[in-house]
Structure 1
Amino acid sequence: MTIKRLVAAMLLATASNSVLAEQSFTVKDIQVEGLQRVALGAALNNLPFNIGDTVTEYTLSKGIKSLYAAGHFDEIAVFRDGNTITFRVKERPTINAIEFDGNKDIKEEQLSESLTNQKIIIGEQLDKTIIREIENGLTEFYHGVGKYNAKVAIKLTYLPRNRVNLKLEFVEGDAASVRQINIVGNELFDDAQILKNTESLVDLPWWRFMSSDRYQKDTLKGDLEKVRSFYLDRGYLRFEIEANTVAVSPDKTSVYVTLQVKEGEQYTVTGVDFVGDLIGQDEFIKAMLPLKSGQLYNGALVTYTEESIAKFLASFGYANSKVRTSTNINDETKEVSLTLSVDPGKRVYVNRILVSGNAATKDEVIRREIRQMEGAWLSNDTLESSKLWVQRLPYIEKVEFETKPVPGTEDKVDVDFKIKERSSGSFNAGVSFGSYQGLAFQFGIEQQSFLGSGNAAGISLNTNKYQKSINLSYTDAYFTLDGISLGGNVFYSDFDGSKAGAEAYNQTSYGTGLNFGFPINEYSRLNFGTAVTFSEIAYIQEFDQLRHFRAVLVDPNRPDQAYKFTNYDVSVGWIRSTLNRGTFPTDGLRVSLTGKITTPNSDLTYFKTNFEAANYIALSNDHSWSFLSKLELGYGNGYGSNNGYDHTLPFSDNFYAGGQNFRGFENRVIGPRAIYRYVNSIPGLPDPIGSGVGLPTLPMSPEFDSYDISTRSFGGNAMAIATLELITPTPLLKEDYANSVRTSLFVDAGNVWDTEFDINRFANLTRYQNSNSLQSELLDYSDAGMIRVSAGVTVQWISPMGPLTFSLAKIIKKYDGDEQENFSFNIGTTF
């Protein structure tokens, strides 16, 4: 385009009345007409001559070229009037605005970046010569993703003051689908076997709407490598893809792919040798070698061997090692010998460790989790371990690290840990609706990392319709440098069971506790604790299962007073975690076993144990799909006796299920119900003397008692709940929020039961006639096999105000009296 303009300008100058002479002349003056934004001096600086110089027609043509090369002008003409040279120019227009319309496959951010790289920037001058190049480049991109009907046009709208608006109009159309993939030359394996793991899918049926048969050039390129690997992994060392063709249908909606292959024959490995420096670890490296003489050649094993050796060397600081495999092929015997060349390079040391992105969390909180030390050799294993430790902190969303060479050195790097935080404080609130308890509210607040220190401290306040509690706590996770934690708390609680879906009673408790923990290794730790609790239970409706509890605490002289008791307990716990994150993990295992027992000098002597295991298995490389299996077990009981009555687990410490820990069921609805036993009586004899006052009624024998079943559960001393969850990508959600929002499909199953319940105590009793119970008959609450099951979908969101959980569930299996809670919404749920 520039050459054409130059030629046109020269012809114009030649045909002008001011035709330039062939002979040279001395320039007396230089003028430039048509300048608007370009300064005269800037234009003159681009000319290869000045006033007073002797010029020829050739010199003037070079001047035109120089002005064009400056990039400011669309048109240039030159004229001579005597010894005065005049350049008439038309400046390039300035880009006023850039607009995109119709683009879906390409984000505006990508388009803006691409245009910037080609100097198409608002406020800069427009070079119209590259418009066609941009249009062709974008069209080629669409062809690469299978959209052969796509069209891209750049429209220019000229404005006053030599300005222009650019509008990029896209007509993307539909992508062509892969209609057929043909393989020619394969005799050993059929097409289906070869194409089993490829991503280019053919003519999918409608029910596979989650998959895509859209043609993409990059996908096909990757599939060719998978086909090649299919043969190499089976020993076909001479396999070749001789040709691949892509034919597009006339309507450009279908693509037909043909691969011409040459399979060859299988080759056997005759030996594996090493050359190079094995850093003194010869025996270990050779022992870890999966390749053995006599087996078929396997390309995947060769690659795995190279990566394993490189990773092993990196753990010793050789971060830039090179491992290459050369083959010595004998085509006559169909054998191959392998030689692994190992070059560890120089050992790399860590100069400095940098931490960035942590606006709220102090550097020392991050650094104490980092296992890589400054001054030590660089270890990829240690860096990955450091990343996991930092990422397990509940107030850290994402961690990445980058190594940067130190300028002027070959064996030192700086490591930059880039942190993305999430809020360390949260509200604890919720709204739920169920068929029995109706609309329920709760509220609370807590802080996980006080002032960015990484220590849990502050006030945890909870208030809802059935409980008011406050907990002042402080836990220093690193009381000592080697990871011993120390913490304490003071608490108060006022609980109304009748409003919590449990049996009616009021319990007030207060006390204090102390806890400390010891790390066993990188993944496990032991926790110990001690506490004293002062409790009072009042307004309790006496039911049959409380007979032991009441007999142990009742004052014979004041049988109607509230139950007051003081307990001293000690606890021990073991936790092992290999989770990849503290919040929203996608891979790893967490197992915990905790136990609590009250001391013999307590008013109530009992023990309580909990076991929890959660196993996450990543189903995709990017961890957007994963599978969770979770098991929670609990058991508690009393030890010792008082006044001939055995101690039992206090009903206020019972296990409950329903609500947050068993979705689909009402809060605390699963488990044993209270049974009220009524003594029947017979009328007294009439007054023998006719005074109108008869003898009082007389109680009948216990076998004539009647009973009724409460509408509420009071829990049980044993619990088992299992959960299976398929964690999926959240639909319509940007990738930036993938670590803050989680969607999962779940199945919950389990039961709560009472191992001390004896249904035979009620076998011969009659049911109370005016019963309002939800249960039509008495169930055996000691039966662990009364499994409930529910299923549904849950969406969890770590919002700025705290974690939110939305659950929609349906009961699959229930028992008489269980009530359903279809939808629940909570803030502050523990994940």
Structure 2
Amino acid sequence: MHAPAQHRPTSRLAAAIVAGWLGLGLPAWAVSPFVLQDIRIEGLQRTEAGTVFASLPFRVGDTYNDDKGAAALRALFATGLFKDVRLEVTGQVVVVVIEERPIIASVDFTGTSEFDRDTLVKALKDVGIGEGQPFDRGLADRAEQELKRQYLTRSYYGAEVVTTITPIERNRVNVSFAVNEGGIARIGEIRITGSQAFSESTLLAELDLTAGGVMTWYTKSDRYSRAKLNADLETLRAWYLNRGYLEFVVESTQVAISPDKQSISITINVREGQQYTVTAVRLSGNYLGKDDEFKSLVTIKPGEPYRSEAVNDTQRAFTDRFGLFGFAFARVEAVPQVDRNTGRVQVQLNADPGRRVYVRRINVAGNSRTRDEVIRRELRQLESAWYDGARIQLSRDRVNRLGYFSEAEFDTSEVPGTFDQVDLTMNVTEKPTGSLLLGATFSSAEKLSFNFAVKQDNVFGSGQYLGVELNTGKLARTLVLSHVNPYFTEDGISRTVDVFYRTNRPLNSQGEDYQLVTPGASVRFGVPFSELDTVFFGIGAERTTIKAANALPEVYFRQRAQFGDTSSSVPLTLGWQRDGRDSALVPNKGLYQRVNVEWGVAGDTRYLRSNYQIQQYIPLSKRFTLGLNGEFGWGQGLGGRDYPVFKNFYGGGLGTVRAFDQNSLGAVDVTGAYLGGNRRLNLNAELYVPFPGVGNDRTLRIFGYADAGNVWREGEKIGDSSENPIRMSAGVGLSWISPVGPLKLSWGQPLRYARTDRIQRFQFQIGTAF
């Protein structure tokens, strides 16, 4: 093989093979087979010669013929690197003449306000357009179509794309896409025809797609896409099937767009069929001799309309129960046997447990940041153990409860070559686990105050928590540093370390300048006694100094007289927590409980302080949620010593009784100071409803609330006493999971209050994630 030739006679094969390979109707001049003595390549600029030689179906010393020449051309064009290829024969030498395709030097976009550049660059790479890749006009056309497809997904039906190719030095090109996005095509009308049993408005309320409205700027539910329409059609089918309409079908859908491509109308034609009532449920197949056990799992009720949800729940319960016994691939088929004359249906459940298997290996995928061990220590299914559906479900729930992942699911795959082994793969999708919290309140006492917190729940992917909290209020300033290691021991015992510095100025109507300064630290351990229950215990140390000016309240005089300006405390803590809510951010159902007891066992003070809280979320319907909260706190001095005033409970404001100023409830000293008390009661109720116009979106909701509660000092009667009665308030609010984090606004009106109370009607809180 030699360098490119400088002179060669006209080839007998140059036009013949090219014309024959391209299928042109030109005369072909065949070459007689000969033994190759050399192969030469001309025209290469960037491509390695080895790439060309590797594509050729012949080598020096081989017998060359027309078929091999045609195969060489096909192979070289298939690489996608060359714009033109020719083969020329000189004697017993084949010369490969190459014209390389230009390389894309840059890809630019103009007029693309709807998409960021990275999204479009990634989409074009999937069709072969990207920096450093070979270019041809066919790829540019495909790129234009891909860009238009991207805009169609967001209802830009009038988007136009113009491609400009600019050649530059060294056989390169710049590719520029000028986009005229046009306007968004919005849904102007959705019609459902053929429905008899239910009104059109009832059915439209079940769809996520809506016609344009006041709030569609936020929900974007008036933007059409085929995927969204298909999802809504499935929702409609499920809705009817869950009400006994087994023969319901969507007969057709029509989607029409206006000539200016700005408005879309959708018509859905349905046929309901008749409603069927369940008369009997029968089990058939192999139930492992545990038929009665499986019958207890049936939620399909004879005498009621056929409900697909009940059927699906029963199938799922059967499959899960088979999984408890190691049958990973059990199949449960529900066969409705309908009688059209009477409108009745019998449901037959056919079960085939398959074979029993055990888990060979458990893999973890998708965790680019979180360490494998953080996930694996939550797994309750063991490798080389029998497949256990309950343990797998529990493992998934525990990983989800970590809060590090937006999604965590198991995939099950058979092991090739075996009949009784499976591999499990835990697929996770990581989400931001840091948070930046900013809260603000406004009142006549504190004016505008801010709360600031930086928290990282999964620092360095270790599963540990690290946080800094800062409160800049006029009455209360706090700096807290916290670290939580959820697996301080291999058995799952957690350790929490807090270091804090608090400055507290009790609310005082006369504005006197005195404050409590408390530095301290604590360590707490959490012991999991069950999958849902955790018991906490710990110890701390703190010192409280009373920095006084004039008009010091009487209780602080007594405190200082008994312990001095500075008093120390060594509290032991004991607590219990159970969290059964379906979501900590937007709970819809579930129960949450916690108990905490603090016992001052050493230092200057001796006391007992306890607090119990219970929350219950009740789904009233698909869109309405009732939240109930109750909290009771109690404190008592021990060993003949007074209960320390700086351990008092306070009421009023966020988290207690809204519409009252922060910490303003309870008895008032003669100096005008709000002192709190050693006992506290809070009762709260919230009813969440969708914001008008947002459909099924739960990220934006309004709520009405009713609060009741108060704090009481030693000697005061708890409850509805004339001296210090329970305060009540009611109001409305807005809850929004905004792009910058959870936002909550509330406005309220006191319903029962005392002359000394301060009113705070409006408050808000906002957070963001990074």
User: What TM-score do you get using the length of structure 1 for normalisation?
Assistant: 0.68
Asked if 1:411 is matched to 2:411, the reply is: no
Q: Separation in 1 of the partners of 2:65 and 2:370?
A: 72
The answer on whether the counterparts of 1:435 and 1:821 sit within 8 Å (CA) in structure 2 is no
The answer on whether the counterparts of 2:667 and 2:674 sit within 8 Å (CA) in structure 1 is yes
Asked if 1:785 is matched to 2:746, the reply is: no
Q: 2:262 aligns with which of 229, 253, 258?
A: 253
Asked if 1:673 is matched to 2:674, the reply is: no
Match of 2:695 in 1: none
Equivalent residue letter for 2:611: N
Match of 1:651 in 2: 645
| Cα drift, residue 197 of structure 1 | 1.2
Q: Separation in 2 of the partners of 1:325 and 1:537?
A: 73
Match of 2:758 in 1: 818
Asked if 1:634 is matched to 2:633, the reply is: yes
Indicate how the Cα distance of structure 1 residues 283 and 358 shifts in structure 2: closer, same or farther if over 3 A, else same: same
| Cα drift, residue 629 of structure 1 | 5.0
Asked if 1:715 is matched to 2:676, the reply is: yes
Match of 2:11 in 1: none
SS in 1 for 2:727: coil
Indicate how the Cα distance of structure 1 residues 500 and 460 shifts in structure 2: closer, same or farther if over 3 A, else same: farther
C-alpha offsets along residues 559-615 of structure 1, whole Å, 9 cap, x if unaligned?
Answer: xx948988897765443222467899786432123345779x999886544222345
Indicate how the Cα distance of structure 1 residues 306 and 127 shifts in structure 2: closer, same or farther if over 3 A, else same: farther
Match of 1:244 in 2: 253
The answer on whether the counterparts of 1:672 and 1:752 sit within 8 Å (CA) in structure 2 is no
Match of 2:712 in 1: 754
Q: Separation in 2 of the partners of 1:525 and 1:305?
A: 32
Q: Separation in 2 of the partners of 1:258 and 1:418?
A: 39
Asked if 1:610 is matched to 2:611, the reply is: yes
Q: Separation in 2 of the partners of 1:141 and 1:518?
A: 51
SS in 2 for 1:156: strand
Higher mean alpha-carbon deviation, 662-671 vs 286-295, is at: 662-671
C-alpha offsets along residues 398-419 of structure 1, whole Å, 9 cap, x if unaligned?
Answer: 6735446456555232454759
Q: Separation in 1 of the partners of 2:270 and 2:736?
A: 48
Higher mean alpha-carbon deviation, 657-666 vs 280-289, is at: 657-666
Indicate how the Cα distance of structure 1 residues 56 and 613 shifts in structure 2: closer, same or farther if over 3 A, else same: same
Match of 1:281 in 2: 290
Match of 1:680 in 2: none
User: What TM-score do you get using the length of structure 2 for normalisation?
Assistant: 0.72
Match of 2:694 in 1: none
Higher mean alpha-carbon deviation, 746-755 vs 336-345, is at: 746-755
Match of 1:167 in 2: 176
Higher mean alpha-carbon deviation, 278-287 vs 607-616, is at: 607-616
The answer on whether the counterparts of 1:791 and 1:812 sit within 8 Å (CA) in structure 2 is no
SS in 2 for 1:632: strand
The answer on whether the counterparts of 2:749 and 2:761 sit within 8 Å (CA) in structure 1 is no
Indicate how the Cα distance of structure 1 residues 242 and 369 shifts in structure 2: closer, same or farther if over 3 A, else same: closer
Q: Separation in 1 of the partners of 2:369 and 2:232?
A: 46
Q: Pairwise mapping of residues 312-351 of structure 1 onto structure 2 (< 5 A)?
A: 312-331=321-340, 335-351=344-360
The answer on whether the counterparts of 2:541 and 2:571 sit within 8 Å (CA) in structure 1 is yes
Q: Separation in 2 of the partners of 1:516 and 1:87?
A: 76
Flag the structure with larger Rg: 1
Asked if 1:158 is matched to 2:98, the reply is: no
Q: 1:303 aligns with which of 306, 309, 312?
A: 312
Match of 2:213 in 1: 205
Indicate how the Cα distance of structure 1 residues 433 and 53 shifts in structure 2: closer, same or farther if over 3 A, else same: same
Match of 1:696 in 2: none
> How much is the aligned-residue C-alpha RMSD, in angstroms?
5.9
The answer on whether the counterparts of 1:13 and 1:79 sit within 8 Å (CA) in structure 2 is no
Q: Separation in 1 of the partners of 2:424 and 2:19?
A: 57
Structure 2 gaps of 5+ residues are 1-14, 691-698
The answer on whether the counterparts of 1:150 and 1:172 sit within 8 Å (CA) in structure 2 is yes
Match of 2:592 in 1: 590
Indicate how the Cα distance of structure 1 residues 70 and 757 shifts in structure 2: closer, same or farther if over 3 A, else same: closer
Indicate how the Cα distance of structure 1 residues 393 and 674 shifts in structure 2: closer, same or farther if over 3 A, else same: farther
SS in 2 for 1:126: coil
Equivalent residue letter for 1:373: L
The answer on whether the counterparts of 2:129 and 2:140 sit within 8 Å (CA) in structure 1 is no
Q: Separation in 2 of the partners of 1:431 and 1:651?
A: 27
Match of 1:685 in 2: none
Indicate how the Cα distance of structure 1 residues 282 and 511 shifts in structure 2: closer, same or farther if over 3 A, else same: same
| Cα drift, residue 319 of structure 1 | 3.1
C-alpha offsets along residues 214-255 of structure 1, whole Å, 9 cap, x if unaligned?
Answer: 222122222333333344334333333333333333333333
Equivalent residue letter for 2:591: L
| Cα drift, residue 32 of structure 1 | 5.0
Indicate how the Cα distance of structure 1 residues 244 and 649 shifts in structure 2: closer, same or farther if over 3 A, else same: same
Q: Separation in 2 of the partners of 1:500 and 1:103?
A: 58
Higher mean alpha-carbon deviation, 213-222 vs 818-827, is at: 818-827
Structure 1 gaps of 5+ residues are 556-560, 676-708, 730-740, 760-778, 799-803
SS in 2 for 1:290: coil
Q: Separation in 2 of the partners of 1:460 and 1:41?
A: 63
The answer on whether the counterparts of 1:148 and 1:252 sit within 8 Å (CA) in structure 2 is yes
The percent identity for this pair of structures is 29
Q: Pairwise mapping of residues 690-705 of structure 1 onto structure 2 (< 5 A)?
A: none
Higher mean alpha-carbon deviation, 297-306 vs 574-583, is at: 574-583
| Cα drift, residue 85 of structure 1 | 6.2
Q: Separation in 2 of the partners of 1:743 and 1:511?
A: 40
Asked if 1:217 is matched to 2:226, the reply is: yes
Q: Separation in 2 of the partners of 1:73 and 1:513?
A: 71
Q: Separation in 2 of the partners of 1:591 and 1:377?
A: 35
Number of aligned residue pairs: give it: 735
Q: Separation in 2 of the partners of 1:233 and 1:450?
A: 45
SS in 1 for 2:669: strand
Q: Separation in 2 of the partners of 1:827 and 1:183?
A: 41
